[in-house]
Chains A and B, each alone.
Chain A
Amino acid sequence: MHTWFKYTVQAFQKDLFWLPLALMGLFSLIAWMLPAEKQYDTARSFIGFLLPLIAGGFSAYAFLEDDALELQFSTQRPAWRMIVERLGIVAVVIAATSLIFQGIAALLGISLAPLGGFLQRQLVWLVPSLCMIVIGGVGALLSRSSSGGLAFIGSLWIIQLLLRGWFIRQRVWRNILLFYGVMDPLGNNRIANQLTLLGIAILLMVVIHNLLKKQERYI
């Protein structure tokens, strides 16, 4: 397990680690420079809007960019282990970035209380990020292209962000709005939204599992 984990970390380019940290540093700096009344919005934007994009973007590159992909497929390892290793590392980096950023926000005196209690606040970024991680993986495997997966993630993110007002007004569509949790963190509809997103993530995880079994598609 240890060797496989070490290999997975090395298979990823180092930008998986420095890009979230760099963006976190940038948003911390902006929040620090802005007047107090704008600091909360900046902090909220980073964890609720930007982290899901980073998560989905990295997961789109999680499977197919491995030079030793054919070798990986030739071993007897179950597909779920590859999913856990590849997508798990993205989730861990995103979780660490979010928690560190929340620590920095506290140091800067930014209250994230409008997003709810500590655990409730974590759902605001965790649910959309998990959903985007899985969508990124599915997008890349279905299109057999990491760039294709990222193009899907990018388009989905920008459409949802720009049309969030439209999404939130639609009784059905608001349940798949990635940013509902951060936009209406204490509203009643957030639970249905988060459950729907989690449901989609679980379903798509099964799809990834099945797609990874069709190894000849990617070689």
Chain B
Amino acid sequence: MKFFGLLAYEYRMSIQRRSMLIIMGIFTIFYGYLWMQMDLDYDMAFVSREAMLSEAGQAAFFINLFFPVIAGIAAADRAVRDTKLGVREILQATELKNSTYVLGKYLGVSLSLLSMIVFIATAVSLFVVFLTEAPLAFVLYSLLAVVVLSGPAIFFVTAFSLACPLVLPVRAYQILFTGYWYWGNYLSPQVLPTVSDTLLNASGKYALMGLFGVQISVNTPLVSPMDVAANIVVLLTCAGLALMVMTAYINWRESRV
């Protein structure tokens, strides 16, 4: 019961941050503008299920260029804030376990960010349907794409954004995280050593190629559905490990007081 209370509270706190909603709105408008600039053959783009899947996948991949950055930055001050405002002391006075606290906070923040991205994807795809007379099914394909491409990314970045600022200053983490999002997901290994061509890539590249049939470039190796599953499992495992370390760190820190 405490877990669901915590989750609901975190969800409300996170989704009501007006500043983040405005920033997401600004970049979503820019994203919509770019969509309209594309030389898309609308008659061909929505002619078949495969074509719609491909369009929906690319749209979600495009949202992933910037949305996880906002998500990671927004989540970074959530855990630190509790200590700063003295909420941790109040929570410690209850019988709330640290593992429940971490999991409730994590799921509350992650689900709120996921709701926002689902809202953005729905709004943009409805706009596309309205503008191009694409079938309404395109909205469903978009939702599927955003859950498969952006979902793992959100769960991955939120875990690290909650855990890392416990040992790093928040703003230093936020700057490093922004740099990481480019370095770890989009930078070519031929330029600098990077993890972007490994299963640690969180941009949704694997799902886009393996499930939505989009070939990013001619040099990119083919991706099978097994690779997509492995990519998602690796990201979620890393997120789980980060949360376990976070819980252990809070236990250790509070045992010293």
**Which residues of A does B touch, CB under 8 Å?**
13, 15, 19, 30, 34, 38, 41-42, 45, 50, 53-54, 57-58, 60-61, 139, 143-148, 150-155, 157-159, 161-163, 166
**Are A146 and B69 in contact, with the CB atoms below 8 A?**
no
Cβ of A151 and Cβ of B70 under 8 Å apart? yes
Given A147-B74, A162-B65, also A155-B182 (CB < 8 A): no
Size bracket of the B interface? 20 to 34
Given known contacts A143-B19, A143-B23, A154 and B178 CB-to-CB distance under 8 angstroms: yes
Cross-chain contact of A158 among B77, B176, B178 (Cβ < 8 A): B178
The answer on a CB contact under 8 Å between B22 and A50 is no
Across chains A and B, which 5 residue pairs bring their CB atoms closest together, nearest first?
A148-B19, A143-B19, A57-B175, A154-B178, A15-B172
Q: Is the interface of B mostly helix, strand, loop or mixed?
A: helix
State whether B65 touches A58 (Cβ < 8 A).
no
Is B225 positioned at the interface, with any CB of A under 8 Å from its CB? Answer: no
Q: Nearest residue in A to B174 (C-beta to C-beta)?
A: A150
Instruction: With A60-B171, A159-B65 given, name 5 new contacts (CB 8 A).
Output: A53-B178, A145-B17, A155-B27, A158-B69, A158-B182
- Select the residue from B76, B176, B193 with max chain A CB neighbours within 10 A: B176
Residues of B within 8 A of A (CB): 17-20, 22-23, 26-27, 30, 34, 65-66, 69-70, 73-74, 76-77, 169-172, 174-179, 181-182, 186, 191-193
B65–A50 contact, CB under 8 A? Answer: no
CA distance A44 to B79 in the complex (A): 36
CA distance A54 to B177 in the complex (A): 11
* Contact between chains at B69 and A151 (CB < 8 Å): yes
> Given A38, A144, A150, A155, which contacts B171 in the complex, CB threshold below 8 Å?
A150
From known contacts A57-B171, A150-B174, A158-B181, infer whether A143 and B65 are also in contact, taking CB-CB under 8 Å.
no
Residues of chain A lying within 8 A (CB to CB) of residue B176? 19
